[in-house]
Structure 1
Amino acid sequence: MEGPRLPPSATAHESDDDKPDDPPSVWHRPTSSLPALPSQDPPPHHWRNHSLNLSPLLATPPPSLPPPDSIPELETYVVQVPRDQVYWTPPPEHAKYVEKRRNIPKKNKKNGCSKRLMWFFIILVVFGCLLGAITLILHFAFSPTLPVFAVERLTIKPSNFEVTLRAENPTSNMGVSYLMKKNGVVSLTYKNKSLGRGKFPKMSQAASESNKVNVKLDGSTKNAVLPPRGSKQPVSLVLMMELKAEYEAGPVKKNKEVLVTCDVKVKGLLDAKKVEIVSENCESEFKN
């Protein structure tokens, strides 16, 4: 007859622990049965080993966390980069522009230079035509006219002659100034024999102005072979003047050399101080 069952002894318990197939003494809830936690950033590495506490006593406050591991010191690395390496890429439009410039043939460049030279010569020709047109306009608009001279009186003195002339400037838009040409002279001759020589005085005239001028010539009739005193035959004299005429109208200036030749016929050259002028004719011409 069997008596009541006795509790397992200590020896029996120990023997049961030694069996590998026995279930563990503590019951754990599966991880999949836990409620879903909101998504957040993963905890630091030093927290992960202690974050999943699957103890069945969930109501108890979590134990205090151990101090975090010390942050390791940052290490410095030296990287050597070759100088001929380029680590950036230009924008695509820059590469297209460079390729376009490379692909331009040399012929087009030469054509560009030739076009520039052609335009330069065209501009030069146009400028020359304009300058020529302006010069022609100024030449015809401000063209000097030959001065007009006339002998009005001839007076004979013991040692000189005095000739009174009328000078007229027919140019309507330019004034004129008369000067003696360098090495120029005013001479009075009879049959190619010199009777007197002198200088033309400086004189200025406005446009279309007429003035009288007196010219003194040093000389006499002593050495000249003239008709005898009392002869009524006229004597032909030649008065020649070499002048320099400076015409001016504002910024326009023109210099001319004028040669004046006057053929004068007189009576009483040896009888009276005032000689009678029978006829006179003065002609002027520009020498340049």
Structure 2
Amino acid sequence: MEGPRLPPSATFHETDDDKPDDPLPTWHRPTSSLSALPSQDHPPHHWRNHSLNLSPILDTPSRSLPPPDSIPELETYVVQVPRDQIYWTPPPEHAKYVEKLRNNPEKNKKNGCSKRLMWFFIILIAFGFILGAITLILHLVFNPALPVFAVEKLNLKPSSFEVTLRAENPTSNMGVSYVMKPNGVVWLTYKNKRLGRGKFPKMFQAASGSDKVNVNLDGSTKNAVMPPRGSKQAVSLVLKMELKADYEAGPVKKNKEVVVTCDVKVKGLLDAKKVEIVSENCESEFKD
């Protein structure tokens, strides 16, 4: 009569007893990036002789090992950063500098005031540069030219002289107004002796204009040593005027003082009512 049959596990462990020195089966991690797993110690020899006592090993969660297939293999990825992107950390000296500024509010206030003053001077210099450029352009574009005068007639009356002048304004883009200075006088002299004096009438001339103007001078030839009557000798006279010339072109205005000196040679000053002009030459200049 056969004895009772042992369970299959018992038979399995009885077979294992035939090779007590064989090591337990081991497995390897897929990659070196995994953390080290807890080492498995060999079970005591008396546990191996009884297959029913394997429950302590199986019930211990710290010593249970997952099957090799349950651990996924880790993949390696290569991340490339563009070379033109540089990531850096400011040096610690910057933090000290910022902390120093925080601890010195008065110094920060002074620095702010100095920056505002600097910007104020920069704006002022720029404004002056622009203003100077505009002034230079206006000076070059609107530049008054000297007026031109010429003596056309000279008539002698019992107690006055009548001189007819032609005035020309060569400035092509500005009109001009002629007025006498507050204490200005028009003089007519012969050998530094005064023959007559008077006022230049107020006159306006357009740009590139030409006009005639009559100047009346009070005086006579009694106080001057003149050539005798009937003499054909030419007499040299000097006509001098000091005028204010106000040039204007829209909002642009320029004020000048003009001194005009005319050298006139005449004949028949004492004999005829109409004096003959032999030669004349008028020169103008701006007075600073």
| Counterpart-to-counterpart distance in 2, 1:106 and 1:202 | 67
- Match of residue 147 from structure 1: 147
User: Retained in 1: the 8 A contact 2:101–2:108?
Assistant: no
- Match of residue 242 from structure 2: 242
Counterpart AA for 1:264:
V
Counterpart AA for 2:169:
N
- Match of residue 188 from structure 1: 188
- Match of residue 169 from structure 1: 169
Matched position secondary structure for 2:229: coil
| Counterpart-to-counterpart distance in 2, 1:122 and 1:102 | 28
Offset of residue 111 of structure 1: 2.3
Whether 1:112 aligns to 2:122 is no
**Which ranges in structure 2 are unaligned for 5 or more consecutive residues?**
1-98
| Counterpart-to-counterpart distance in 2, 1:154 and 1:178 | 21
User: Retained in 1: the 8 A contact 2:162–2:214?
Assistant: yes
Matched position secondary structure for 1:172: coil
| Counterpart-to-counterpart distance in 2, 1:135 and 1:251 | 13
Whether 1:221 aligns to 2:221 is yes
Matches within 5 A, 1:199-278: 199-278=199-278
Matched position secondary structure for 1:272: coil
Larger Rg: 1
Q: How many residues align?
A: 190
Matched position secondary structure for 2:133: helix
| Counterpart-to-counterpart distance in 1, 2:164 and 2:208 | 20
| Counterpart-to-counterpart distance in 2, 1:108 and 1:278 | 84
Offset of residue 156 of structure 1: 0.5
Offset of residue 174 of structure 1: 0.5
TM-score (norm 2): 0.63
CA RMSD of aligned residues (A): 1.7
- Match of residue 20 from structure 2: none
| Counterpart-to-counterpart distance in 2, 1:100 and 1:190 | 88
Matched position secondary structure for 2:225: coil
Matched position secondary structure for 1:118: helix
- Match of residue 45 from structure 2: none
Counterpart AA for 2:207:
A
| Counterpart-to-counterpart distance in 1, 2:191 and 2:226 | 10
Offset of residue 108 of structure 1: 3.5
Counterpart AA for 1:111:
N
| Counterpart-to-counterpart distance in 2, 1:197 and 1:188 | 6
Deviations 1:226-279 (A, max 9, x none): 011111111000000111111111011111111100000011111101111111
| Counterpart-to-counterpart distance in 2, 1:102 and 1:176 | 66
Offset of residue 109 of structure 1: 3.3
Matched position secondary structure for 1:240: strand
User: Retained in 1: the 8 A contact 2:195–2:220?
Assistant: yes
| Counterpart-to-counterpart distance in 2, 1:269 and 1:143 | 40
Counterpart AA for 1:181:
K
**Percentage of pairs with the same residue:** 85
Deviations 1:17-57 (A, max 9, x none): xxxxxxxxxxxxxxxxxxxxxxxxxxxxxxxxxxxxxxxxx
| Counterpart-to-counterpart distance in 2, 1:229 and 1:220 | 15
| Counterpart-to-counterpart distance in 2, 1:270 and 1:183 | 31
| Counterpart-to-counterpart distance in 2, 1:224 and 1:115 | 76
| Counterpart-to-counterpart distance in 1, 2:123 and 2:202 | 46
Counterpart AA for 2:235:
V
User: Retained in 1: the 8 A contact 2:238–2:262?
Assistant: yes
Offset of residue 223 of structure 1: 1.9
Counterpart AA for 2:121:
F
User: Retained in 1: the 8 A contact 2:169–2:176?
Assistant: yes
Whether 1:156 aligns to 2:156 is yes
Deviations 1:164-204 (A, max 9, x none): 00000001110001101111001100000011111111100
* Higher helix fraction (1 or 2): 2
Offset of residue 140 of structure 1: 1.5
TM-score (norm 1): 0.63
Deviations 1:97-150 (A, max 9, x none): xx9995465444332222211111101100011111111111111111110000
